[in-house]
Amino acid sequence: MLCVAEHFAAQRYAAETRGNAMKIIRAEFMGLCFGVRDALTIARETAAPESVSIYGELVHNPTIQGELASRGFRVVGEKHRDSTQLTNRVMVTAHGISQKRLAILSSHASEIIDTTCPLVRRVHEATQTLERENRLVILIGRRNHVEVQGIVEDLSRYIVVESPDEVIDWKEAALGIVSQSTTTPDLAQRCLARILELNSQADVRYIDTICRPTRQRQQALEALCRSVSMVIVVGGKHSNNTRQLAERCSELGCRAVQVESAQDLMEEWFAGLETVGLTAGTSTPDGTIEEVARVVSTFGCIA
Ligand code: SF4
């Protein structure tokens, strides 16, 4: 009986011998963004991790979550973060939190270790600006996402819109539009167009808050989809931008298979393919991407 590694090695040898190993085309931009890398660096450099509660998932990736837990951090799930007793040092994740919640945490904790991404902060600042201008704030994003919750908790009047279908005439004199940082440019544009169409009486100000790494990964994916018929999207099941990469593939007529790690790969997906595309969400570690690429390269294209 061969172990998994021996099995893949044997397959790779067979594929290379046949001269038909799978060709992998990588997206020009993929994987960890600077915001996640910086959050991980802070976490890895934090002394005495057993005294630190991470207020939610530092990043939406099970491999990283496991690494942090094994280092001794108290990893508190997003759904339970307000019903769990926290330690006296609290780490805020890259997704950010509201000023209201920060004040509550600060009143209990001796230290707040803040890894909020600067590009998430930019969304908070944009919404505050729009509210000061007496605009109803329309936030394009996922209403259950922690980034969105952190933004809207500091607003007095807002609407979260997940798709153009949710847009109505809000009968407001002034609207301010922003997006969750990881919203796809395509979705933001479609929502904005619908808002302008149905609210023609309103003075509308749009501030583009989609982060650059998200935009780069989406554009690189679109280029990739012009060269391949199937793309492997590597990332956590709870990662918003990973899910969006997979959805965008499908919208572009390209088949997407989403995996969290190499263990999720199924060789039959690749039957008949000579090339396959590879991309990854902004919370996917380099090692996970490389392992997926290594295993896929062991699959020969089956004629
Ligand atoms: S996806 Fe964008 S906003 Fe989110 S952590 Fe990365 S760089 Fe920051």
Query: Cα of 113 to ligand 1 centre, how many Å?
Result: 18
pLDDT-based confidence at residue 77 (cuts at 50, 70, 90): confident
Closest by Cα among 14, 67, 62, 45 to 238: 62
**pLDDT tens for each residue of 61-76:** 888 889 999 999 998 8
- Range with lowest mean pLDDT among 3-12, 27-36, 105-114, 275-284: 3-12
Query: Cα of 203 to ligand 1 centre, how many Å?
Result: 29
Ligand 1 atom closest to the Cα of residue 118 is 8
Atom 7 (ligand 1) nearest CA:
35
Most confident of 9-13, 190-194, 280-284: 190-194
pLDDT-based confidence at residue 10 (cuts at 50, 70, 90): very low
Closest by Cα among 101, 64, 68, 108 to 85: 108
Query: Cα of 151 to ligand 1 centre, how many Å?
Result: 14
Q: Are 10 and 298 in contact (CB under 8 A)?
A: no
Region 206-228: mean pLDDT is: 96
Atom 2 (ligand 1) nearest CA:
211
Mutation choice for ligand 1 from 40, 41, 116, 119, CB with most ligand atoms inside 8 A: 119
Atom 8 (ligand 1) nearest CA:
35
What are the catalytic residues? 147
Q: Which tokens is 22 given?
A: 């799978």
Q: From CA 75, how far away is CA 64, in angstroms rounded? A: 11
Q: From CA 298, how far away is CA 273, in angstroms rounded? A: 13
pLDDT at 303 over 70: no
Torsion of CA 296, 38, 182, 68, to 10 degrees: 60
Region 18-30: mean pLDDT is: 82
Region 234-245: mean pLDDT is: 89
Q: Are 27 and 277 in contact (CB under 8 A)?
A: yes
Contacts of 104 (CB under 8 A, 6+ apart): none
Contacts of 20 (CB under 8 A, 6+ apart): 274, 300, 301, 303
Buried b (16+ CB within 10 A) or exposed e, 258-281: bbbbbeebeeeebeebeebbbbbb
* Ligand 1, residues at Cβ distance < 6 Å: 33-36, 94, 117, 119-120, 181-182, 211, 213-214, 241, 282
Domain annotation for the chain: domains and CATH numbers: 4-31+213-296 (3.40.1010.20), 34-116 (3.40.50.11270), 119-210 (3.40.1010.20)
pLDDT at 8 over 80: no
Ligand 1 atom closest to the Cα of residue 211 is 2
How many residues are there in the chain? 303
Query: Cα of 34 to ligand 1 centre, how many Å?
Result: 7
pLDDT at 17 over 60: no
The one-letter amino acid code at 23 reads K
Q: Which tokens is 181 given?
A: 């940082």
Q: From CA 182, how far away is CA 96, in angstroms rounded? A: 13
Q: Which tokens is 65 given?
A: 């979550």
Mutation choice for ligand 1 from 147, 238, 282, 283, CB with most ligand atoms inside 8 A: 282
Contacts of 175 (CB under 8 A, 6+ apart): 135, 136, 137, 138, 195, 199, 202, 203, 204, 205
Mutation choice for ligand 1 from 32, 115, 182, CB with most ligand atoms inside 8 A: 182
Ligand 1 atom closest to the Cα of residue 181 is 3
**H or E stretch including 233?**
strand 230-234
What mean pLDDT, rounded, does the chain reach? 90
Q: Which phi and psi angles does 205 have, rounded to 5°? A: -115, 125
Query: Cα of 234 to ligand 1 centre, how many Å?
Result: 17
User: What's the predicted TM-score (pTM) here?
Assistant: 0.86
> What are the residue ranges of helices labelled H in the chain?
4-18, 34-45, 62-70, 99-108, 118-132, 146-152, 185-198, 212-225, 240-251, 286-296
